[in-house]
Each structure stands twice: as structure tokens, then as C-alpha cells.
Amino acid sequence: MFTHSFSQKISDSLARFSVSHANTLSVHPFGIFMSRINTNFQLKADKNLSVTANISGGNIWLQRVKSDSPINKSDRNEVSKLNWYNRDGMIAFLNNAPTKTTKFEADGVIRLYQIQLNLPLSDQHEIKVNSRMFSLDGGKIPTSIVTNDELIEWFHSNVAGGENPFARKAFEYDQAKIRYSDEEGKTFQINSGDFIFSGIDLSYYYYPQFKSLEERSIYTNFGAQVGANLNDINPSFDLGLNGTIIKSIHLERERRFNVGLSVGAMRMQVLEYGEAVQLITRKNLVNSEFLFEYLKHYKNKSLLSFAVSWITQNSFNKKSDFETIILAGERSTSHWHLALSHLYDIRTSYNFMISYAKGDFSYSTYFREDFRVNNAPDTQGGIGVKYYFK
């Protein structure tokens, strides 16, 4: 979740108003088990204690795929000589050579629930404590108006994407399951109706207030984050750092543009306290987010915000490993392989956000779209409410 507050260059009567955006982190079927950087585009530390509630939902569609990775170097070299989509015959060629096998499939709507307590310490310091939970269901109407299978397939068939590009029509609609087996044979399965407490994130933010920068309406903040993953699938602690810079452009009639860049890095599984399933092979996740926002303050002491952001993150798995794996699955469409192949690609998405603040409350909604369409998810939406204690 990130919040935008008016700077000291705006009158004191406006400075105490702020607008917040709902948490837009992807509800990826692996990401929900781990801590990830929450980018912070806040100009100043909040002056009052506040609590934020966020609900996100995204439709996941990942057809069942198996991956075999040869253990012997000579076998890996042979596999790498072929393009990945021509390697399915290599299993017979290897003639029972030792391999590591991964299996993965996911279907349904993941709903992520977050409650965050924002604790201001001073004008330059604050702490945020965020709890995260999630559930899985089939995504049927009316609880899933935008993210149900039938509407998504109708959109692709009649508006964009082409007829049946993602194989949903080849299987039953509105199912709910996540099944995964790692290279060591450790497995997990989530079924429809399951509700899981994922973990708690503790974040500290410092707002240095560089005078020379703020005279030019440029603001910075730096954060450190510790994530405690309190679930049976990924029992571990993650550690992250991030930094943000924002340029605020003031206009007439109490309007402004904010342009910001945030960069963060998270070290996964710094400490493990149980036997974890190997979800990803990359230990360092690096992300960046570019934000462009328009804000307007009204005479009734309310604030309206329209924002667009672009997010990138490095791949969950090492790109080099993709050169030596053999993917197998039902080739129902050209997207049959995405359950595992997308783990080796850079992740990108766009967020479109609208927020409104008045009095002690701030409300927001957003729509998230991954134009690379990796179905994990490619479409996501959410809402958020923030309350300030006086």
C-alpha cells in the first residue's frame, strides 16, 4: 500500500488531508506465501495513527505442466541445444537419466486480505505492520463480476485476444485448485474454500527531508522490511530494502502532478524455521515502480486522485535454468506451458487507480493488468479503506 500526502508548500488547512491507494501487489499463487516490497510513494510521515484494510482478487489460470531438469551436466548440454518447445522428445533420448521434476497447475480466484496498522513515530519516522491472508474460490458470479472465467473468455473471444487463446474453454469453468510439487518431491495443494494466514510484514520508513530537494518539491523516503511467513508452505523470514523519490509539480486551483520512482530488493528465506516447499529458485527479488498521479483538492475539503503505475520485477526463477529444462503438458493452445515457463520471465504490470479522501477516511479502487498475459494473474482488481484516528 502506498500513500500520497500534500507537502508543506500547500496551506496548513490542506496538509492534513491525504489519499491512499489499495495494495496492488500481484496475487500470484507463489507470491501470496512470501513477503514482497510494498512501494511507498508517501511524501511525509503520517501525523496520526491509522489503519488500512485492503481486499484484492485475481483470476488464476495455469494449465497443468511438468518440468524435467537433467542432473548430469552432459545431459543438460544436450537439452540446451534445442529450443524449449522442441525438447519434449528429449526424455526418451535421455534414456532414464536422472532428472529433477516439478509439477504445477492453478485455477480459480485468489483473494488477498490485508490489514495494516500505520504507527507515526515523528515527522521523519514511521512503522507499518501489515498482516496478510488469502482464500481460494471458483470465482463465480456475483462474487466475481470481472474476474470469472466466463467473462474473461467472452472478452477474449469478442473484444481482444482471439477465440479461446488460453484453453479455459477446453476445461470446466470456475474451478478452484492450486497444486505444486517441487524438485525434491515436496508438495502442497489448496482447494476451493481454503483460507490461509500467510504472514506479517513489519516495515520502517525514514523521510530525510533534504532541504535543498524539498525547496524544489522533491521528496525521498527509505524503508526496511522484515516479513515473517507464518504458513506451513514457506515457513521463513524475508528481508528487504527500498528507496523512493517523488517530484511534485504544483498547478493552479489546488491541483498537482506527482511523478515518482521506487526501487526495492527482497532477500527471500533469510531464515527458515521449518521444512519449506521450494517455490522459487531465485533468492533475490528486485522490483521497481514508476508512478504518475494527478491530484485535485476541492472546497468541501475532499481530495481526488487518478494514478497510473508501471511495475517490473525480476523473474521468480533463474533465467539460465530455463535453457536446460524439458516442459511437458497437454498442448491445447499456444499458452499451455505458462504454469512453469512464466516463472523464468520478468514480471510487468500496469495499475490504474482512483482514490478519494475526506475527513478521517480515504477510499480507493484499482485495476491491474499484465499485458504479457501470463495468467498468474493477467487481470486483478481491489479496494482499500483507510481510517485516521484523531
**Could you tell me where the DSSP H helices lie in the chain?**
12-15, 73-80, 90-94, 149-158, 211-214, 338-341
Distance CA(234)–CA(251), nearest Å, equals 48
Q: How far apart are CA 99 and CA 72, in angstroms?
A: 8
Q: To the nearest whole percent, how much of the chain has pLDDT over 70?
A: 85
Q: What are 91-94's contacts with CB under 8 Å, separation 24+?
A: 91/326, 91/328, 94/70
Are the C-beta atoms of 234 and 274 separated by less than 8 Å?
no
Q: Are 128 and 203 in contact (CB under 8 A)?
A: yes
**How much is the pLDDT for 147?**
63
The arithmetic mean of pLDDT across residues 268-288, rounded, is 95
Q: How far is Cα 183 from Cα 343, in angstroms, rounded to an integer?
A: 15
Matching residue, cell 525438447: 87
Residue 163's contacts (CB-CB under 8 Å, 6 or more residues apart) are: 156, 157
What rounded mean pLDDT belongs to the chain?
A: 87
Confidence (pLDDT) at 361: 93
pLDDT digits (tens, 9 = 90+) for 279-335: 999 999 999 999 999 999 888 889 999 999 999 999 999 999 999 999 988 887 778
| pLDDT, greater one: 9 or 253 | 253
Nearest to 56 by CA among 129, 152, 132: 132
The structure's pTM equals 0.88
- What is residue 212's predicted lDDT score, i.e. its pLDDT? 93
Confidence of residue 15 (pLDDT cuts 50, 70, 90): very low
Q: Which neighbouring-strand residues pair with 322?
A: none
Q: What is the mean pLDDT of the segment spanning 209-229?
A: 94
* Residue 6, all three cell numbers: 500534500
pLDDT at 13: 37
Categorize the per-residue pLDDT at 11 as very low, low, confident or very high, splitting at 50, 70 and 90.
very low
Q: State residue 169's pLDDT score.
A: 59
User: In which band, very low, low, confident or very high, does the pLDDT at 88 lie, cut at 50, 70 and 90?
Assistant: confident
Residue 170 CB partners (closer than 8 Å, separation 6+): 164, 332, 333
- The pLDDT of residue 149: 62
Residue 150: the pLDDT is: 63
The full set of domains in the chain, from first to last, is 2-388 (2.40.160.40)
The predicted pLDDT at position 96 comes to: 73
pLDDT digits (tens, 9 = 90+) for 34-71: 999 888 998 888 889 999 999 999 988 898 999 999 99
> Taking Cα atoms as reference points, which of 116, 133, 126 lies closest to residue 53?
116
pLDDT at 16: 42
Cα distance between residue 313 and residue 45, in whole Å? 26
Whole-Å CA distances, 76 to 170, 252, 254, 320, 340: 33, 63, 62, 12, 18
Is the pLDDT score of 10 beyond 60? Answer: no
Question: Is the separation of the CB atoms in 97 and 75 below 8 Å?
Answer: yes
For residue range 338-375, list pLDDT tens digits in order. 999 999 999 999 999 999 999 899 999 999 988 777 88
Q: Alpha helices, DSSP H only, in 23-71? A: none
Read off the C-alpha cell for 152. 474473461
Report the percentage of the chain scoring pLDDT > 90: 60
Residue 185 pLDDT greater than 50, yes or no: yes
Per-residue pLDDT averaged across 75-103, rounded?
A: 83
Cα separations (Å) of 8 from 14, 222, 248, 358?
Answer: 9, 19, 11, 19
> Which pLDDT score, from 0 to 100, does residue 23 have?
86
How high is the pLDDT of residue 350?
A: 93
Model confidence at 165, pLDDT cuts 50, 70, 90, reads: low
45 Cβ neighbours under 8 A, 6+ residues apart: 120, 121, 122, 123, 124, 125, 126, 205, 207
101 falls in which pLDDT band (50, 70, 90)? very high
How buried is residue 274: exposed, middle or buried, by Cβ count under 10 Å (0-12/13-18/19+)? Answer: exposed
Q: Which three cell numbers stand for residue 222?
A: 527509505
Q: What is the pLDDT of residue 294?
A: 96
Residue range 192-204: average pLDDT?
96
> Given this model, what pLDDT does residue 386 score?
94
Q: How many alpha carbons lie under 13 Å from residue 67 in its C-beta half-sphere?
A: 29
Q: What's the pLDDT tens digit per position in 138-156?
A: 866 666 666 666 666 666 6
pLDDT computed for residue 154 by the predictor: 62
